[in-house]
Amino acid sequence: MNSVTVRVPAKVNLQLAVGPLRDDGYHDLVNVFHAVSIFDEVTATAETGMSVRVEGESADQVPEDDDNLAIQAALALARHAGRSYGVNLVIRKAIPVAGGMAGGSADAAAALVACNELWGLGLPIEDLLEIAADLGSDVPFALLGGTAVGTGRGERLTPLEVGGTFHWVFALADGGLSTARVYAECDRLREATGEKVAWPQAADPLLAALRRGDAKALGAELANDLQPAAVMLRRSLARTLEAGREHGALGDLVSGSGPTCAFLADSEAHAEQLALSLRAAGVARDVITAYGPVPGPTVV
């Protein structure tokens, strides 16, 4: 086998609860991850060295060297296997770059799956998840897909039962937001306001809404502790979120560290109508629809 292509989805955080700042500089998190039908594709082709090329949406904003998380994933997999391997990775982007939808993590997960197949390693998902956890907090879920609760830094995952399909509208912003900067702003705001930060927990009403497939109930429970920080750093997001509510979204939130805004609709038709309304309102660079949950990386 000389080439393997893997398709991998974006994610939206239905709940992102951020605990107090730890001594190691991280936060304990509770993440309710949900994979949605916006996909990158990663093609791995055998070669002597390690290289990466990026095509598609905002490709010029993605590094094509060892700073690329997909290359780091391939290197980590080779180290785990105890062999010297080479690969050329071609990443075709559709997931927003630095948009809070884990595009870089998705590409890393796809690289793990593609290289595992290309190199004939046959490693089980448990081994890949262990490697993924060392690459970044969102990479394990990108490898798993579906819907799951993540704890710790987000890397300890428990799959969730979901009773149906949910329809989404995503408003994309110009430019990205640095995840590290958003977390730092979250800490700054909490210190400035004297907020007492509770230990993060998954919200039972949200989990129940997922089990029932109840979009209206889920919309009322969407929550993101990073949202005030993201809005503070990108004030235009407040107007985007307000526009979604004005045009009938069941729920709205900033996805992850932003700046992508996510809106829940009650049907595919409602999602299409909401997308048209948001485009007409001029509150986003682009507006796209998607559904979830969807599976994780798939060889195509």
Q: How many helices (H) and strands (E) does the chain have?
A: 10, 12
User: Which entry of 40, 107, 138, 252 is annotated as an active-site residue?
Assistant: 138
CB 295 within 8 A of CB 35: yes
* b/e 47-80 (16+ beta carbons within 10 angstroms → b): eeebbbebeebbeeebeeeeebbbbbbbbbbbeb
Distance CA 242, CA 260 (A): 14
The residues pairing with 8 across neighbouring beta strands, listed in sequence order, are 40
Distance CA 223, CA 220 (A): 9
Annotated binding site: 96-106
CB 49 within 8 A of CB 66: no
CA 63 → CA 114, 197, 245, 284, 287, distances in Å?
A: 19, 36, 36, 25, 25
Q: Among this protein's residues, is 138 annotated catalytic?
A: yes
Annotated binding site for ATP: 96-106
Q: Among this protein's residues, is 11 annotated catalytic?
A: yes
User: Which entry of 11, 93, 107, 225 is annotated as an active-site residue?
Assistant: 11
Q: Closest Cα partner for 252 from 11, 9, 10, 14?
A: 14
- Catalytic center residues: 11, 138
